[in-house]
Amino acid sequence: MARLQPVRGTHDILGDQARAFRYITETFVKVAERYGHQEISTPIFEFTEVFKRTLGETSDVVSKEMYTFEDRGGESLTLRPEYTAGIARAFISGGLQQDLPLRFYGYGPMFRYERPQKGRMRQFHQIDVEILGVPEPQADIELLALAADLLGELGLMDHITLEINSLGDTESRHAYRDALVDYLTAHKDRLSEDSLNRLDKNPLRILDSKDEGDRAIVADAPVLQDYFNDASTGFFQQVKDGLEALGIAYVVNPRLVRGLDYYSHTAFEFTTDQLGAQGTVLAGGRYDGLIEQMGGPATAGIGWAAGLERLAELVSHNHVPQSARPVAIIPVGGEAQAEALKLARALRHDGYVVDMGYRGNVGKRMKRANKLDSAAAILMGSDELARGKVTIKDLDEGSQQEVDLDKVSDHLMQYR
């Protein structure tokens, strides 16, 4: 029988990475709740139409990367490739329109069938925040501040740059789209196959092409801001003014785009030079047209997501709190076993991490205690127990002393 392996593009999370994931997630929850966000957890799979409507038929995610399958009832289902679509669907199907504005946060696994590489897996994990029902630029400023606060608490902002751009409102974007299509059509014979496919349905995505030939053409393309009306210019200026008032540094990247029509106004990415080619750490934008496109009421929205795998690569292990060092309980002789179990449970109730080996003599159990980096070992022999005592050995200093059995918890306070 062949040896079982994890599916390509998936991995087991344990040890240092598991600790980093938990630390990042717990920090994220703490910061998001400070900003008034409430937790939401959407299903890991949805009807395929949820993602086709939101991500667009011509997007790489829909056309190449989604894990889509037919269930036994003949329904087409898709493992979620991102969080926003599920949250928008929950807003519509849950009848949450009366509760606006809404602030959500969530975290969990996502799935995309793409070439696995450093920091990018087929099952990956994201943290996500959304604000629904706030068309004013204050929502953009608040979500950018939340992101900066999170990255700051994780000790990452020294190596991260906030890049922002504006996509303008619908009127401005349509005017720009026409000019961009005219320009790109004149260079049609030099565009890549992917960009040719996008030219009619999704031309703004061409601005984000990774193809070198496309990038050379795009370098001289019209600039979106040149087609802004007063409303678009004013909105973007308010976002920039808000960031400056909060002391959040940024650079304007006019080539930072989102290709789908429901995106508007602010788009942003927090990027780093610490991860090689995979430089985006956190990204998001405003999507005022999304919920209406999905069949719901016209509702403003903005959000961002960040990958846990990439954040975990960046977070210093010195920054991640280490697990509490255990206390080892070592019964000496079979008659001490019951008392050892009782003491272990009592200490766990008091908040200590306790390890009690399941077998082996005293020597083997001491070796296990040292391997687990235990702070102390409690030796429980029948003679000591008869006197209501145990021996506590400090495994760093090597010193030991007898302690009353009912005073063990107090004595161990020094090892917390």
Q: Which amino acid is located at 22 in the chain?
A: R
Q: Give the CB-side neighbour count of residue 159, counting CA atoms within 13 A.
A: 16
**Three-class SS of residue 139?**
helix
Least Cα distance to 250 among 168, 138, 151, 160 occurs for 160
Q: Are β-strands 376-381 and 102-111 bridged in parallel, bridged antiparallel, or unpaired? A: unpaired
227 is in an annotated binding site: no
183 is in an annotated binding site: no
123 is in an annotated binding site: no
DSSP 159: G
262 is in an annotated binding site: yes
H or E element at residue 144:
helix 138-153
84 is in an annotated binding site: yes
Give 375's strand partners.
Answer: none
263 is in an annotated binding site: yes
25 is in an annotated binding site: no
Q: Which two structure tokens, joined as six digits, stand for 63?
A: 């056309």
CA dihedral 153→157→159→162, nearest 10 degrees, is 140
DSSP letters along 172-236, please?
Answer: HHHHHHHHHHHHHHTTGGGS-HHHHHHHHH-GGGGGG---HHHHHHHTTSPPGGGG--HHHHHHH
153 is in an annotated binding site: no
112 is in an annotated binding site: yes
Residues annotated within a binding site for L-histidine? 82-84, 112, 126, 130, 258, 262-263
Known binding-site positions: 82-84, 112, 126, 130, 258, 262-263
